Amino acid sequence: MTEETSPLPAAQAAFVDALPAATTGSETILIEHALGRTLAADLTAPEDSPPYHRAIVEGYVVHAAATEGADAEEPVSFKVVGQVNPGDDSFPHLPGDGAIQVATGSILPDGPIAVVRMWEAEVDAGTITIKRPFPPRFFVEDMGCDVARGDTVLAAGTALGPLDIGTIASLGIDRVQVARRPLVTLFASGDEVVPYTDAMRPGAIRDSNTPMLAAAVAAAGGETETGGIVADDFDDFVAKVRAALAASDMVLISGGTAVGGRDFISDLVREVGRLVVDGVPMRSGRPLIMGHAEGKPIVCVAGHPPEALRGFHLFGKAAIDRITGRNAPLPEDE
Domain spans of the chain, in order of start: 8-25+180-323, 26-49+143-179, 54-141
Please tell me the distance from the alpha carbon of residue 323 to that of residue 26, in angstroms, as a whole number. Answer: 11
Q: What are phi and psi of 186, to 5 degrees?
A: -105, 130
Q: Is the pLDDT of residue 334 over 70?
A: yes
* Segment 38-88, tens digit of pLDDT: 999 999 999 999 999 999 999 999 999 999 999 999 999 999 999 999 999
- Domain over 26-49+143-179 is classified CATH 3.90.105.10: yes
pLDDT of residue 3: 46
Asked whether the beta carbons of 319 and 301 are under 8 A apart, the reply is: no
Say what the alpha-carbon torsion angle 141, 142, 145, 147 is, to the nearest 10 degrees.
110
Give the global pTM.
0.85
pLDDT of residue 243: 98
Q: Using the 8-state DSSP alphabet, how is residue 329 labeled?
A: P
Where does 103-157 show beta strands of DSSP type E? Answer: 113-117, 122-124, 127-130, 140-141, 152-154
Q: What is the mean pLDDT of residues 228-248?
A: 95
* Segment 47-59, tens digit of pLDDT: 999 999 999 999 9
pLDDT of residue 200: 83
Q: Is the pLDDT of residue 260 over 70?
A: no
Count of C-beta atoms within a 10 Å radius of residue 101: 20
Please tell me the distance from the alpha carbon of residue 240 to that of residue 186, in angstroms, as a whole number. Answer: 11
> Residue 214 — very low, low, confident or very high, per pLDDT cuts 50/70/90?
very high
Residue of 285 and 94 predicted with greater confidence: 94
> Residue 234 — very low, low, confident or very high, per pLDDT cuts 50/70/90?
very high
Which architecture characterizes domain 54-141 according to CATH? Beta Complex (2.170)
Q: Is the pLDDT of residue 188 over 50?
A: yes
pLDDT of residue 141: 97
- Report DSSP letters for 181-215, one per residue: PPEEEEEEE-TTEEETTSPP-TT-EEE-HHHHHHH
- Domain over 8-25+180-323 is classified CATH 3.40.980.10: yes
Does the fold of domain 54-141 match that of domain 26-49+143-179?
no
Please tell me the distance from the alpha carbon of residue 122 to that of residue 118, in angstroms, as a whole number. Answer: 8
Q: Considering the chain, what is the average pLDDT of its residues?
A: 93
Please tell me the distance from the alpha carbon of residue 185 to that of residue 269, in angstroms, as a whole number. Answer: 15
Q: Is the pLDDT of residue 4 over 70?
A: no
Q: What is the mean pLDDT of residues 121-149?
A: 96
Percent of the chain with pLDDT over 90: 86
Residue 143, H or E segment: none
Q: Is the pLDDT of residue 2 over 50?
A: no
* 3-state SS, residue 151: coil
In one letter, which amino acid is 13? A
pLDDT of residue 57: 97
Residue 312, H or E segment: none
Q: Using the 8-state DSSP alphabet, how is residue 117 labeled?
A: E
| Closest residue by Cα to residue 251 from 320, 192, 313, 307 | 320
